[in-house]
Amino acid sequence: METPVYDFVQAYAAAGNVRLHMPGHKGKGSLGVEAFDITEVFGADSLYEAGGIIEKSEQNASFLFGSGNTFYSAEGSSQCVKTMLFLALMRFKELHGENFKERKVVVAARNAHKSFLAAVALLGLDVVWLWPEEQEDYHLCCCPVSEEGLFATLKKVGFPVVAVFLTSPDYLGGLLDIHVLSQVAHRFGTLLLVDNAHGAYQHFLEPAAHPLDLGADLCCDSAHKTLPVLTGGAYLHLAGSVAKTMAPYVRQALSMFGSTSPSYLILQSLDLANRYLANGYEKRLAQCVGRLDELRGELLFHGWVLYGKEPLKITVAAAKCGYDGREMASLLRAGGVECEYADPDFVVFMFTPENEEEDYRKLLACIKKLAVRKELCRRPPAFLPPRRVLSVREAVFSPYELLPVREAVGRIMGPAAVSCPPAVAVVVSGEEIGEDAAEVLFYYGMDRVAVVR
Ligand SMILES: Cc1ncc(COP(=O)(O)O)c(C=O)c1O
C-alpha cells in the first residue's frame, strides 16, 4: 500500500531546502524527529482542506476499514467525538428544521468520556442518560446497554433524538451488542454514534467486529491506543449510508475542534499504519488474540478472576482476588510491568501484536508471585442518578469554585471532575452532588470538585 504522506516528508527532508517556514526548530533538534516535523509547505496538502496526499492517504484508510469515508485526526478521539455530535446535530437540523420545538437530545450511555461532555456543552445539547440496568453493575467505566433498555428509553423520550451515543469497548474491555443496538436506534430514525476509541483493530478480527461492521453510522477510533500510531492519531469513520450527506461537513467540523497546525509526525504515522494494516495484520492480530487466550487460561488456572470480553485487553478483577487494583498495579510496577489502568476494583493490561513473547512471560511471572487472596468485600457505593439542576452547557459556562468533596454536597457540579484515565464523570456538570455521589467520588480518588458559584 502506498504511503504518500510519509514519502513526501521523507523526500522533503532529503532535499535539504532552506526552511524559511514553521516550525521554529528548522528541522534540527535533540528529539531526532525534527527533520520530519513539517508544516503545510507546498505539496504537503492541508488536513482540513485536504485534496492531495492527505486525502489520498485517508482514502487508503477508508478502503482498509471498509468505511464510506475515513478522516484523520491528529488530536485523538477527543476531537472526533465532538465532530460526530456536530455532524449528528447538522443532520437533525436538516431533518427537523431549525425550529424544532423540543429539546435537542442525545441518548448516551453514562460511561461517556469527558470529550462527550465537552461536545454537549459546546453544542448546547441535552442528554438523556442510559444507566446500568442493575445497580450492582455500576462501575465508573462500564455501562451495559440492552436492546430493551435502549428501546424503552427512546420510546419514553417520545420525540426524535439527535443521536444515540455509546462507548464500546469500554475501559475495562466490556463490549456492547452494537449490531442489535444500531437496529434499535435506526427503528427510531436516529443515528448510532460509537466511541470506539479502544477498538480500531476490531475490523481486522475474524469475523470483523468494528462498530461500522455492526451497523454504527459514525464511529471514532484512537488509532494510537491499539495500533502502532503516535499518540494523538485517530480516525473518524462514516458509514456508507451517511457518507454522501455528511462528508461535505466533516473537515470544517473537525477544524472547529482542533488546532490549525495538526502534527505531520502524527499524520505520517497514520499514513504508515495503512501499510502496516495492509501487510498481514489480520494474521498477526489473530496470533496475538490466540496468545492472549492462552494467557487468560493460565491466569484462570491460577485462580485469578478476569473481567471483560475485548480480545486485546486482560482485565483482572483485582478486588475479587484480594487486592486493591492500585496496590496490585504498584506491585507489578516494582516487577517491571506497567499496566494501562488501575482502580480500587480492577487492573487493565493492553496488548497488541507489537508485544513480544517476553512481555507475556514477564506479566505471568510477576502475577504468579502474588498469591490470590480472599476477596475484598467491597464495591462502588450505591448511587442513584443525581438530580439535574442546570443543563451541561449552563453549568460548564458558569463561574465555579473548587471545594473539598465533603463541602460540595448539595451544590451543583461545574466542569465535571474526572480522574484520567478513564476520564469518565461520576456526577455530570449541572447535576446536584448528593451524599451518595460524594461517596462514589471518594471511592474513585477524587477529593476536590468544581461547583457552580
Ligand atoms: C472511551 C474513550 N473515549 C475517548 C477517549 C479520547 O481519546 P483520545 O485520547 O484519542 O483523544 C478516550 C481516551 O482515553 C477513551 O478512553
**How many whole angstroms from 262 Cα to the centroid of ligand 1?**
18
**How many whole angstroms from 370 Cα to the centroid of ligand 1?**
31
**pLDDT value for 103:** 85
Angstrom CA distances, 31 to 16, 198, 264, stand at 18, 28, 15
Q: Where residue 198 falls among pLDDT bands split at 50, 70, 90?
A: very high
Match 491499539 to its residue by C-alpha cell: 226
**How many whole angstroms from 223 Cα to the centroid of ligand 1?**
10
**pLDDT value for 284:** 98
135 SS3 class: helix
**How many whole angstroms from 195 Cα to the centroid of ligand 1?**
8
**pLDDT value for 356:** 98
Q: 101 phi and psi, to 5 degrees?
A: -75, -35
Residue 98 has pLDDT above 90, yes or no: no
CA angle 361, 343, 365 (to 5 degrees): 15
Angstrom CA distances, 144 to 105, 133, 149, 302, 424, stand at 20, 7, 10, 28, 15
Rounded to two decimals, the pTM is: 0.97
| Domains of the chain and any CATH numbers | 21-278 (3.40.640.10), 282-369 (3.90.1150.10), 392-452 (3.90.105.10)
The average pLDDT across 403-410 equals 97
The average pLDDT across 365-379 equals 93
Residue 134 has pLDDT above 90, yes or no: no
The average pLDDT across 100-108 equals 88
**How many whole angstroms from 113 Cα to the centroid of ligand 1?**
7
Angstrom distance (rounded) from CA 302 to CA 363: 13
Q: Where residue 416 falls among pLDDT bands split at 50, 70, 90?
A: confident
List the residue whose alpha carbon is closest to atom 7 of ligand 1. Answer: 77
Q: Where residue 379 falls among pLDDT bands split at 50, 70, 90?
A: confident
**How big, in percent rounded to 5, are the helix, strand and coil portions of the chain?**
45, 15, 40
**How many whole angstroms from 98 Cα to the centroid of ligand 1?**
31
Residue 382 has pLDDT above 90, yes or no: no
Question: Which atom of ligand 1 has the smallest separation from the CA of 422?
Answer: 16
**Counting every residue, how long is the chain?**
453
| Percent of the chain scoring above 70 in pLDDT | 99
Residue 383 has pLDDT above 90, yes or no: no
128 DSSP β-pair partners = 107
**How many whole angstroms from 102 Cα to the centroid of ligand 1?**
31
**pLDDT value for 285:** 98
List the residue whose alpha carbon is closest to atom 12 of ligand 1. Answer: 197
Q: Which of 73, 80, 115, 420 for mutating ligand 1's site (highest number of atoms within 8 Å of CB)? A: 115
The average pLDDT across 260-285 equals 98
**pLDDT value for 340:** 98
pLDDT tens-digit readout, 26-39: 999 999 999 999 99
Q: Which three cell numbers stand for residue 127?
A: 442528554
Please give all residues whose beta carbon lies within 6 A of any atom in ligand 1, as ranges: 76-78, 113, 115, 167, 171, 195, 197-198, 222, 234, 421-423
Closest CA to 347 of 370, 356, 131, 242: 370
**How many whole angstroms from 197 Cα to the centroid of ligand 1?**
5
Question: Which atom of ligand 1 has the smallest separation from the CA of 112?
Answer: 1
Q: Which of 113, 166, 310 for mutating ligand 1's site (highest number of atoms within 8 Å of CB)? A: 113
The average pLDDT across 139-144 equals 92
Residue 1: partners with Cβ closer than 8 Å, 6 or more residues away: 60, 64, 274, 275, 277, 278, 279
Average pLDDT, the chain: 96
Angstrom distance (rounded) from CA 6 to CA 276: 13
Q: Which three cell numbers stand for residue 263?
A: 502534527
Provide the CA 191 distance to its chain's centre, in angstroms: 18
Residue 376 has pLDDT above 90, yes or no: yes
Angstrom distance (rounded) from CA 258 to CA 407: 36
Provide the CA 243 distance to its chain's centre, in angstroms: 22
The average pLDDT across 362-384 equals 92
* DSSP secondary structure of 279-331: TTHHHHHHHHHHHHHHHHHHHHHTT--EE---TTEEEE-GGGGT--HHHHHHH
Question: Which atom of ligand 1 has the smallest separation from the CA of 75?
Answer: 11
Residue 387: partners with Cβ closer than 8 Å, 6 or more residues away: 431, 432, 434
Provide the phi-psi class of 364: left if phi over 0, else alpha when psi is between -120 and 50, else beta.
alpha
Q: How many CA atoms lie within 13 A of 332 on its CB side?
A: 27
List the residue whose alpha carbon is closest to atom 10 of ligand 1. Answer: 76
Question: Which atom of ligand 1 has the smallest separation from the CA of 111?
Answer: 1
